Amino acid sequence: MVITYYKTMANFVMVNSGHNRDDEASKLGMWLFLFTELLLFGGLFLVYSVYRYLNAEAFLEASYELNVMMGTINTIVLLTSSLTVAMSVTAVQKGNTRLALRLIWATIAFAGVFLVIKYFEWTAKFEHGLFPGMDHYNHLESGEKLFFFLYYFMTGLHGLHVIIGAILLGFVIRAINKKEINQGSFIFLENGALYWHLVDVIWIFLFPLFYLIH
Amino acid sequence: MSENNKSRYLPGDPKEHHVVSYKFSIGIWFGLIILTIMTVLVSVMGINLVAFSVATALIIASTKAIVVVNYFMHLKYDNVVLKILLGVTMLLFVVFIFLTVIDYITR
């Protein structure tokens, strides 16, 4: 009876023996992590909404200091990077790893563009003395201070996620080159892409809440 | 895909991977760009009712997020467990917002 059991099992399970792989579980793990990220930023959005409710006028005044054009360009850059990483998943599923590699490199390049634009935005603010501790900032009323503090903290934390996401995609590229990611096994790429999309989703909310209060 | 990748199959795997075509992804991207331009125009053209423009901005942002989650993140084609968990997480967040808001407006 034991032998029959073993033989029956062999038909189903032994195919994968030696490798305990469970893509569904890996993806579930990634999503659970993403939920903690959502709640991390969710808490910050909560702080934002309370202070905006209490300082509506000051938030409006302060938001005029932000450059809508740069914000819009950055939104488009991030949306496009989401497209390229989504297409790279399709490319690997179709077995076209060359295209997938190019698309992931493009995503990393877009991450770079995003950060460079962010750099110019922040340095422009610094030149106007608009950073906690600087002269101009110190003379603002408290509502505007709160706006800038939240702006730096939330876009800064988001920028950190952009950097981490780009590094993660670097590891994905390495795994593709080592053939660890291929047409039959691409959960690492999928999870990397999920992280990247999360970064995009957070920016989708940051952009209107900081740049577009008019 | 199922032909040359038999090893991918595990007992209990709900279904084969749904492959999203390039064309479809580009279509989704195009829609997202249109929504972005819309939200910028609504803001810059200046409809002066503050509450109205906040609501519009949030509705457009939420629409974009739902599109990204469903199509770019493949949630639409994924295991129902993930959808339920995301729903629970969002519900939790709504509870946070709700409790905070009723606290502040009743002071």
> What own/partner pairs with CB < 8 Å and gap ≥ 24 does A110-115 have?
A110/A77, A110/A78, A110/A80, A110/A81, A110/A84, A111/A81, A111/A162, A111/A163, A111/A165, A111/A166, A111/A169, A112/A166, A113/A77, A114/A74, A114/A77, A114/A78, A114/A81, A114/A162, A115/A159, A115/A162, A115/A163
pLDDT number for residue B63 = 96
Which candidate from A12, A60, A197 shows the least CB-CB separation from B11? A12
Q: Work out whether the CA dihedral B7, B10, B16, B19 comes out positive or negative.
A: negative
Q: Is the pLDDT of residue B9 over 70?
A: no
Over the stretch A172-192, which tens digit does the pLDDT of each residue have? 999 999 999 999 899 999 999
List the beta strands (DSSP E) in chain A: none
Taking the Cβ of residue A86 and every Cβ of chain B, the question of whether any pair is shorter than 8 Å is answered with yes
Taking the Cβ of residue A40 and every Cβ of chain B, the question of whether any pair is shorter than 8 Å is answered with no
pTM here? 0.87
Q: Which two structure tokens, joined as six digits, stand for A123?
A: 């340095």
pLDDT band at B83; cut points 50, 70, 90: very high
pLDDT number for residue B23 = 95
Tokens 């939420």 found at = B62
Q: Work out whether the CA dihedral A134, A138, A144, A150 comes out positive or negative.
A: positive
Contact A199, A169 (CB under 8 A): no
- The two most distant CA atoms of chain A are separated, in Å, by 84
B10/A22 Cβ within 8 A? yes
At the topology level of CATH, where does A26-211 sit? Four Helix Bundle (Hemerythrin (Met), subunit A) (1.20.120)
B43/A197 Cβ within 8 A? no
Q: Summarize the confidence of residues B93-97 as an average pLDDT.
A: 94
Q: Summarize the confidence of residues A50-73 as an average pLDDT.
A: 92
Number of Cβ atoms within 10 Å of the Cβ of A202:
25
Q: Which two structure tokens, joined as six digits, stand for A120?
A: 């110019």
Q: Work out whether the CA dihedral A197, B68, A41, A150 comes out positive or negative.
A: positive
**Looking at residue B77, what DSSP letter applies?**
G
Which A positions 113-132 lie with beta carbon below 8 A of chain B?
Answer: none
Q: What ipTM was predicted for this assembly?
A: 0.85
Taking the Cβ of residue A21 and every Cβ of chain B, the question of whether any pair is shorter than 8 Å is answered with yes
How far lies A154's CA from each of A46, A121, A193, B40, B47, in Å?
Answer: 12, 14, 22, 20, 27
Residues of B in contact with A204 (CB under 8 A): 61, 64-65, 68
Distance from CA of B84 to the nearest CA of A (A): 11
A15/B36 Cβ within 8 A? no
Residues of B in contact with A107 (CB under 8 A): none
Q: Summarize the confidence of residues A65-69 as an average pLDDT.
A: 92
Which candidate from B4, B73, B104 shows the least CB-CB separation from A194? B73
Domain ranges of chain A: 26-211
Distance from CA of A148 to the nearest CA of B (A): 19
Over the stretch A83-94, which tens digit does the pLDDT of each residue have? 999 999 999 999
Over the stretch A129-150, which tens digit does the pLDDT of each residue have? 999 988 888 889 999 999 999 9
Distance CA A102, CA A85 (A): 10
pLDDT number for residue B107 = 85
Lowest mean pLDDT among A57-66, A136-145, B39-48, B89-98: B39-48
pLDDT band at B46; cut points 50, 70, 90: low
